[in-house]
């Protein structure tokens, strides 16, 4: 069982490099560790052609907790982030982090149930990059009937209407997702680090192919 007291993590790179922010106490999630987070942002920097950083896009941090992924993205050059979280304790931590870093208008908080209505939110904020870090128990089900795949299906309007959207999905290493029935998302890459898996998804283009590459890191 996880501690019921808040902890801290550091921002790895960018304008807030080495600043420490809070993470909420939780028994539902397994926060992304520094090693994995650094690898994810390195991969995104390579994808966008902005090594070590991000272009001035708006990102979404879904199941945000204390907002570590969205804040790392802003630190590395993202124009802003929308944080989707509805747990009361996590929202308190998130708002303290935003105030501590003086994020201001660059950080919008949407206290919503992340399992529905996200397409509208993403389109409203014109998000180009989405971090999806669902509760651990839900991320273990990769079936077509599981909550994660059904959520991806609900995001089809966003994938269709947004130019080149990217979604970063955090999940246990052993899980793969059944996306055969989805028409709007394709797998760009899968990366595995220890017990953690990261699936990078793109809005599907007519000539896109699935599963571009799988990389395992012990």
What local confidence, expressed as pLDDT, does residue 216 receive? 59
* First CA to last CA distance, the chain: 25
Quote the CA–CA distance of 164 and 177 in Å, as a whole number.
21
Q: Residue 3 burial by CB count (10 A; 0-12/13-18/19+): exposed, middle or buried?
A: exposed
- Whether 105 is in a domain gets the answer yes
Is the Cα torsion angle 175, 176, 181, 185 positive or negative in sign? positive
- Whether 214 is in a domain gets the answer no
Q: Which two tokens stand for residue 127?
A: 């998000």
What local confidence, expressed as pLDDT, does residue 43 receive? 97
What local confidence, expressed as pLDDT, does residue 207 receive? 44
CA 200 to chain CA centroid, nearest Å? 10
- Whether 218 is in a domain gets the answer no
For residue range 123-132, list pLDDT tens digits in order.
Answer: 999 999 999 9
Range of the domain at 29: 7-206
Sole residue written with tokens 């999905």: 169
- Whether 213 is in a domain gets the answer no
What local confidence, expressed as pLDDT, does residue 186 receive? 92
C-alpha distances (whole Å) from 6 to each of 27, 29, 140, 154, 214 are: 12, 13, 25, 33, 34
- Whether 212 is in a domain gets the answer no
C-alpha distances (whole Å) from 199 to each of 45, 125, 154, 182, 185 are: 16, 23, 18, 15, 12
**Pairing of β 107-110 and β 7-10:** unpaired
- Whether 2 is in a domain gets the answer no
- Whether 72 is in a domain gets the answer yes
The number of folded domains in the chain is 1
For residue 194, what is the domain's CATH number? 3.40.50.150
Give every residue of the chain whose pLDDT is below 50, as ranges. Answer: 1-3, 206-212, 214
Quote the CA–CA distance of 191 and 170 in Å, as a whole number.
10
For residue range 206-218, list pLDDT tens digits in order.
Answer: 444 434 454 556 5
What pTM was computed for the model? 0.90
- Whether 1 is in a domain gets the answer no
Quote the CA–CA distance of 41 and 147 in Å, as a whole number.
26
């Amino acid at each position: 069982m996880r501690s019921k007291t808040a902890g801290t993590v550091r921002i790895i790179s960018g304008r807030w490099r080495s600043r420490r922010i809070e993470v909420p106490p939780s028994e539902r999630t397994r926060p992304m560790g520094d090693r994995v987070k650094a690898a994810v942002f390195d991969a995104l920097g390579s994808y966008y052609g902005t090594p070590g950083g991000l272009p001035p896009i708006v990102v979404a941090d879904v199941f945000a907790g204390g907002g570590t992924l969205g804040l790392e993205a802003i630190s590395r050059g993202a124009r802003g982030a929308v944080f989707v979280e509805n747990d009361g304790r996590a929202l308190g931590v998130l708002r303290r982090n935003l105030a501590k870093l003086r994020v201001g208008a660059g950080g919008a908080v949407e206290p919503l149930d992340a399992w529905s209505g996200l397409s509208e939110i993403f389109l409203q904020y014109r998000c180009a990059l989405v971090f999806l870090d669902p509760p651990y128990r839900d991320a273990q089900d990769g079936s077509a009937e599981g909550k994660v795949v059904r959520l991806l299906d609900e995001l089809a309007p966003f994938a269709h209407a947004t130019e080149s959207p990217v979604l970063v999905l955090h999940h246990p290493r052993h899980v793969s997702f059944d996306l055969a029935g989805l028409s709007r998302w394709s797998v760009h890459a899968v990366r595995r680090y220890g017990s953690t898996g990261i699936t990078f998804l793109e809005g599907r283009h007519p000539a896109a192919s699935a599963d571009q590459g799988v990389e395992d890191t012990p």
